[in-house]
Amino acid sequence: MHRRSVFFVAALASAAASFGAEQVALAQDAPDSAAAAIRGLERAAGGPVTVRRSATTGTAAFVTTQHGRAIQLATPPGTTAAERAKAFVAAHGGLFGLRDVSEAEIVHVEGPDAVGMEHVRMRQRQQGVPVTGGELFVHLRGGELVAANAKTLPPQNVNPVPSVAAATVVERVQATLGKDIDLTGATFSAPRLELFNRGLLEGRASPTYLVWFVEATNSERREFIWIDAQSGAVLLHFNQMPEALTRQIYDAMSTDTLPGTLARSEGDPATGDAEVDKAYAYSGDTYNYFFTEHGRDSLDNAGGKMIATVHSCPVSCGCPCFNAYWNGTQTRFGDGWVIDDVLAHEWTHGVVAFSAGLIYFVEPGALNESYADIFGETIDLGNGAGLDTPAVRWWIGEDLPENPYYLPSGFRYMMDPPRAPQWPLLTGGPGKLSDPQLVCDVSFDSGGVHYNSGIGNHAYALMVDGGTYNGFTITGIGLTKAGKIEYRALTQYLGVASNFQDNYDAVRQACTDLIGTAGITAADCSEVQKALDAVEMGYPWPCYCGNGVLNAGEQCDDGNRIDRDGCSSRCLIEPSYKCYQGKDLKNPEFAKTLADTTDQLTTEQVKVKKVRFVCLPVDAGGGTPPDSAGHLTCYQVKAAKLSPKPQVEVTTQFQTSRFELKKPQLLCAPSTLAILP
Active centre residues (catalytic) = 346, 450
Rounded CA gap, 498 and 202, in Å? 9
Rounded CA gap, 173 and 216, in Å? 9
What pairs with residue 246 in β-bridges? Answer: 305
Rounded CA gap, 260 and 269, in Å? 19
State how far the alpha carbon of 215 is from the alpha carbons of 131, 191, 192, 315, 356, in Å. Answer: 16, 8, 10, 20, 19
- Annotate 635-644 with b (16+ C-beta within 10 A) or e (fewer): bbbbbbeeee
Instruction: Using only the alpha carbons of the chain, give its radius of gyration.
Output: 25
Nearest to 92 by CA among 129, 55, 145, 134: 145
Nearest to 318 by CA among 368, 255, 391, 386: 255
**Peptide linkage before 424 cis (omega within 30 of 0):** yes
Q: Which amino acid is at 356?
A: A
Nearest to 327 by CA among 250, 233, 274, 271: 250
State how far the alpha carbon of 425 is from the alpha carbons of 450, 632, 657, in Å. Answer: 11, 11, 8
**By the 8 A CB rule, do 449 and 440 touch?**
no
Report which secondary-structure segment, H or E, holds 469.
strand 466-469
Contacts of 598 (CB under 8 A, 6+ apart): 580, 581, 582, 583, 616, 667, 675
Direct distance between the N- and C-terminal alpha carbons of the chain, in angstroms, rounded to an integer: 38
Contacts of 179 (CB under 8 A, 6+ apart): none
Rounded CA gap, 664 and 649, in Å? 16
- Annotate 182-200 with b (16+ C-beta within 10 A) or e (fewer): ebeebebeebebbbbbbbb
Burial of 79 from C-beta contacts in 10 A (0-12 / 13-18 / 19+): middle
Taking every pair of C-alpha atoms in the chain, what is the biggest distance, in angstroms?
79
Q: What is the dihedral of CA 116, 92, 522, 433, to 10 degrees?
A: 120
Residue 219, phi then psi, degrees to nearest 5: -65, -20
